[in-house]
Amino acid sequence: MMNDKDIYKLFNEVKIEESEFNDMKEEVNIMEKERIKKNLNKRIRGERNLKRIKYTSTAAALGLVCLLGIGAASPAVAKNIPGLNSIIQMLNNKNGDQGEYEKYSQIVDKSVTDKGVTLTVNEILADESKLIISYTIKSNKKIKDLQVFGLQRFLKINGKDFYGSGGGRGEYIDDYTYIASEEADINLFKAPEKFNVDLKVREVADVKGKWNFAFSVSKEEIAKNSTIFKPNKKLDFTDSVVTVDKVTFTPIGTYISLSGDYKEKNRKANPSNIFEYGYWIAFDDKGVELIPNGIGGGSSNSTTFHSEMNYTKVKDIPKYLTILPLKIIPSGGGGVSVDENGKETPITIETKKPTKISKAIDGIYPIELSQGKMGKLIIKEIKTEKDKTIVKFTAEGKVPYFQAESLHIEDDKGEWVKVKDRDIRKDEEKPNEFTKVFEALDSNKKYSICTNDFDNVEMREDLKFNIELK
């Protein structure tokens, strides 16, 4: 059974890393659940001959997929929201993504007001893999729960309904203003170099109305500065034969596109993964771990599948990538498969809950946190400055960035302290050293620094391989 937290954050196939759940303490009432379910039913339909899967695994699955939509704001929007310049760069920088989003974005700056709500499409951007739409919502009444809004169910590309995976990210400027962006995976949609986008939004934050937009998008400029390799590398996995079709480097991201055939025909759909060992840790030719930004999304039917591993922009194109496949077992949850007619079939999945590892924050350093077979975290310093608490630490193990993402702080009631800045790798020359910024700790409370033992993660070093980029 899905619990309230799963439903609340995993709407519309939004897929996020475990760290995104740090402040996920909201409760969802029955009416909200029904509204989210209705939106899901509108959104998720199978492509012809493909069975779409709605993922509903819990956070401790550690990011089965992590498509985080990143948006951009036009100068007009920045002017209307004091203190903000480029929203796209701000949202990405907070996640450690230094892609050149602002440089390649196209200003739309169109607003429609209905029922006291103004929806503004700020900027758009597309590359080989994804379409990004940033927007602002302003209301004459307080607005909430916009984390479950989602433009994608209203999206059409060249007149056709968009069916695919994607995600979103946003934040409140105040009680009446919300800025966000959404990302739609257009790799399988095969959008041309230039295409038209239509948005006919019919509901915003439980307000029904009409907010219609139409604009064109061009991938031409960003394509000129992108590099594509087609290694056609075949891999023999336990449950499938996988082909690495394409590796793409663009100014805003790095993508590994792959396809596969299941060894067991008429395979039963599994909402926790498209194929086994389908979470790929990638290292460049210097051994530095690429920052994940959307791992494992895609489509499948009973015999074949397509998937994409998404990472942030790299500074320089490496000579090769080294891939370490992981299998991540969700700590809980379930799901449904949805066929091309919209029929839902409940699915149960294998679950395994890792053990939490924690130690009291007492001002004595270093603090060492074991992560079982993965390695360990060593906390060097925890310092509170005004409105934030800064944690400096190192990760020792085979997948340091992956390990570092699991760090969090809890108060004495088990409540997670909200993360303010998820850009944890501050120095490219020191890839095993990390800094994580949280909301300021209350000096009158007791806190613990936490991670887990990754007992639900199976790392297959025997399946490690290189992708030569020639």
SS3 of 134-202 = EEEEEECCCCCCHHHCCCHHHEEECCEECCCCEEEEEEEEECCEEEEEEEEECCCCCCCCEEEEEEEEE
Three-class SS state of 113: strand
Q: Are residues 204 and 215 in the same domain?
A: yes
Q: Are residues 113 and 204 in the same domain?
A: yes
Looking at 221, 254, 275, which one is the last position of a domain? 221
Q: State pTM to two decimals.
A: 0.79
Q: Are residues 309 and 383 in the same domain?
A: no
CB atoms within 10 A of CB 390: 16
pLDDT on residue 185: 86
Q: Are residues 292 and 234 in the same domain?
A: yes
Q: Are residues 209 and 248 in the same domain?
A: no
Phi, psi of 36 (to 5 degrees): -65, -40
pLDDT on residue 147: 64
Asked if 391 contacts 438 with a C-beta cutoff of 8 angstroms, the reply is yes
Q: Are residues 324 and 230 in the same domain?
A: yes
Q: Are residues 129 and 255 in the same domain?
A: no
Q: Are residues 144 and 34 in the same domain?
A: yes
The CATH number assigned to the domain holding 329 equals 2.60.40
Kindly calculate the radius of gyration of the chain based on its CA atoms and give it in whole angstroms: 21
Q: Are residues 135 and 188 in the same domain?
A: yes
Looking at 197, 221, 245, which one is the last position of a domain? 221
81: containing domain? 4-221
pLDDT on residue 321: 98
The CATH number assigned to the domain holding 126 equals 2.60.40.1630
Burial of residue 268, with CB atoms counted within 10 A of its CB: 0-12 exposed, 13-18 middle, 19 or more buried: exposed
The closest alpha carbon to 126, from 223, 43, 247, 225, belongs to 223
Q: Are residues 59 and 187 in the same domain?
A: yes
Asked if 73 contacts 179 with a C-beta cutoff of 8 angstroms, the reply is yes
pLDDT on residue 199: 94
pLDDT on residue 69: 28
The closest alpha carbon to 200, from 179, 215, 217, 214, belongs to 214
Give every residue of the chain whose pLDDT is below 70, as ranges.
1-86, 88-89, 92-93, 147-149, 266-272, 333-342
Asked if 216 contacts 196 with a C-beta cutoff of 8 angstroms, the reply is yes
Asked if 65 contacts 294 with a C-beta cutoff of 8 angstroms, the reply is yes
pLDDT on residue 189: 77
Q: Are residues 96 and 156 in the same domain?
A: yes
Task: Report the domain count for the chain.
Answer: 3
Q: Are residues 47 and 141 in the same domain?
A: yes
Asked if 391 contacts 449 with a C-beta cutoff of 8 angstroms, the reply is yes
Looking at 202, 221, 240, which one is the last position of a domain? 221
